[in-house]
A and B are shown apart, each in its own frame.
Chain A
Amino acid sequence: MRYKNYIKWSRMPTTWCPGCAIGIVFKQLTFTLEDIQMPKSEMSVVSGIGCSGRAAGYFDLDSVHSTHGRALPIAEGIKRANYKLNVIVFSGDGDLVGIGGNHLLHVARRDVNLTVICINNETYGMTGGQMAPTTKKGTKTLTSTHGSAYFPMNIQQIVTSTPKHFYARSSAFRISHLQKCIKEAIAWEGFAFVDVISYCIENFGRRMGFKSPFEMLDKIKQDYRINYKPEGLLGDFELGILKNDDQKS
């Protein structure tokens, strides 16, 4: 099946702004689905609320667009009710790590066989650009007008805190690496989290002085390097895959 067949063309154009990173990641996911020839009847996509949350409706298959932060428990319910379905959660950082943060801790602990693709753009885009739990310290947003006073949430350490884990960090720029991460995450037997470094130009980047989505993408290109053989945790500006199949400890 071609990647085009996974997309619900009647829903186009998307709600996303021109040049948005979500479109890039969405397309890479459909490329990956084509690559592994995933039958549409054997999968479902679940989203939360927000710009990324709209992704579920753009797939031409049975999909669920839940309430804010609840993509993970709904996905777990689906997976536990039908183990044959490949359940992919496609949502943003505010949804998965902010309001849905508690669910992230526990669904990861229960090691539910889900693939989570997190659009990490460090802001709440749909609501106008407020501070997210992933916003870097010192960044000015609508709700941190003097610069965020807090360190961002360390998603890597949360997801890798259980002995058996899969955490991948990729970016909207390194698309072949992103495809590799998604492919491995889908194949992983257990909870797999793909943290995709992304950007929001209209409600975040412009306030920080970026002139175009390209400038933000280029910044990600400059900042992040792939570490193919990470030892221990990934560095702040490293992309890579951390996985451990240890069931015992």
Chain B
Amino acid sequence: MKRLTMGNEAVALGALKAGMTFFAAYPITPASEIMHILAEKEGEIEFVHAEDEIASIHLVIGASLAGSKALTSTSGPGMSLKQEGIGLAHMMEAPLVVVNVMRVGPSTGMPTLPAQGDILQAKHGSHGDYSPLVFYPCSVAECYRYTMEAFNAAEESRSPVILLLDGFLAHLSETVDLSKIKVEPKLRTFKPLGHGNRHFTGLLEKGGIPRTKDTAYYREWYQRITDKMQKTANNYRFFEYLENKTADTLLIAFGITARVIRPLKHRYSLFCPIRLFPVLEEELKAAAAEHERIVVVEMSDGQYQGEVERVLKRDVLSVPILGGGISLKEIEEKLHAL
């Protein structure tokens, strides 16, 4: 049935559909609606309004190890607090999903105008090397679908998967028929706590024994983790490419920005990555090969442009839309001025 649905609502419904049974979070605009909707499901799912963001991510890690599919949601300031737990979940290989509805920062910034400034934080937020899976939908229907895909990717990779939204998309209401979107949920690949003598730790360990002075083993372990993430990522090649044969310029945009620039498809080719990390290297290279100029339009000061430049190894232009306001007119003017 078609129904007017908000982005945040679609995330909550997608999580329930994916089999999520544990949710913990701390209220923060513009992510709170996810919490409100799931609070009504208390009883069917375990719901915790935690004391802070740090507690909520660790609650979710505990629940994940105990066998639940678990979710937490937040916005920029909360995401900064969650980084400790995200690193721990990578180290413990605990599958879970973290939703970050981006708003203007740093710090409290401009509550709660939308932004896309947490792109590199999603990749590098916690200390140390790791390569997370990051998805960023660009419509309400996609919020629903990619929440389910995020849960699947989490199970497959045994890692915390980050689902990015922006304040616009989270509060965008669209008429959609969610019942037509079907994603087969993936099952847990390891036994929950209480089924052996395993030791889950934030330390580098092998067979439950810390190997904190073993450089060779760290390198072996890191290679395994990186390969695992890339292997999983290969099954989640999500993007949208609107090729315009007459265009000499390729515009790259994601989230609400991709929606705003859609009317420009008659003049430019448009590439909308949904899996932001690991970067869709092959797809981007193939699309870029056909074009003279590559421009990334984003609501940050060139965070993803740098990533694209690194992958393509050629000059990539940036159109930053800062401070929470976005309009097609402004983007067109900036594109002309390039």
Contacts and interface: CB of A to CB of B under 8 A. Distances in A.
B211 to A, nearest CB: 12
Given A70-B85, A74-B62, A64 B54 contact: no
Contact of B65 (A11, A42, A78): A78
A65 B200 contact: yes
B63 A78 contact: yes
B193 A60 contact: no
B122 to A, nearest CB: 20
A105 B85 CA distance: 20
Interface stretch (A80-88, A172-180, A224-232): A80-88
Contact of B194 (A62, A65, A75, A103): A62
Interface string B51-62: 110111011111
B201 A43 contact: no
A91 interface: no
Q: Which of A42, A75, A80 has the most CB of B within 10 A?
A: A80
Contacts of B48: 76, 80, 110
Interface in B264-286: none
Interface in A173-203: none
A67 B89 CA distance: 10
A44 interface: yes
Contact of A82 (B61, B66, B198, B200): B66
Interface residues of B, number: 42
B60 A44 contact: no
B195 interface: yes
Interface string A53-67: 000110111111111
A106 B52 CA distance: 10
Interface stretch (B144-152, B202-210, B304-312): B202-210
A44 B88 CA distance: 18
A64 B84 contact: no
A81 B64 CA distance: 8
Interface size grouping (class) on chain A: 35 or more
Given A60-B197, A67-B85, A81 B62 contact: yes
Contacts of A10: 209
B177 to A, nearest CB: 33
B208 A80 contact: no
A13 interface: no
A41 interface: yes
B53 to A, nearest CB: 11
A81 B46 contact: yes
Contacts of A61: 196-197
A77 B51 contact: no
B192 interface: yes
A205 interface: no
Contact of A103 (B51, B193, B196): B51
Interface in B178-218: 192-203, 208-210
A98 interface: no
B67 interface: yes
B194 A81 contact: no
A73 B50 contact: yes
A59 B201 CA distance: 13
Nearest to A70: B58
B200 A63 contact: yes
A102 B52 contact: yes
A8 interface: yes
B248 to A, nearest CB: 50
B46 A82 contact: no
B62 A77 contact: yes
B194 A70 contact: no
Nearest to B56: A73
A77 B192 contact: no
B138 interface: no
Contacts of A63: 198-200
A41 B50 contact: no
Interface in A140-180: none
Contacts of A110: 48
Nearest to B192: A82
A65 B201 contact: yes
A197 B58 CA distance: 28
B116 interface: no
B198 A78 contact: no
B22 interface: yes
Interface of B: 21-22, 24, 46, 48, 50-52, 54-56, 58-68, 70, 84-85, 88, 92, 192-203, 208-210
**Nearest 9 interchain pairs by C-beta:** A77-B62, A81-B66, A73-B58, A65-B201, A106-B51, A74-B62, A81-B63, A77-B59, A77-B63
Given A59-B197, A66-B58, A75-B62, 4 more contacts: A11-B208, A77-B60, A81-B21, A85-B194
23 contacts: A44-B66, A59-B197, A62-B196, A62-B200, A63-B200, A64-B62, A64-B199, A65-B201, A73-B55, A73-B59, A76-B48, A76-B59, A77-B64, A77-B66, A79-B62, A80-B46, A80-B62, A81-B46, A81-B66, A81-B68, A82-B66, A85-B193, A110-B48
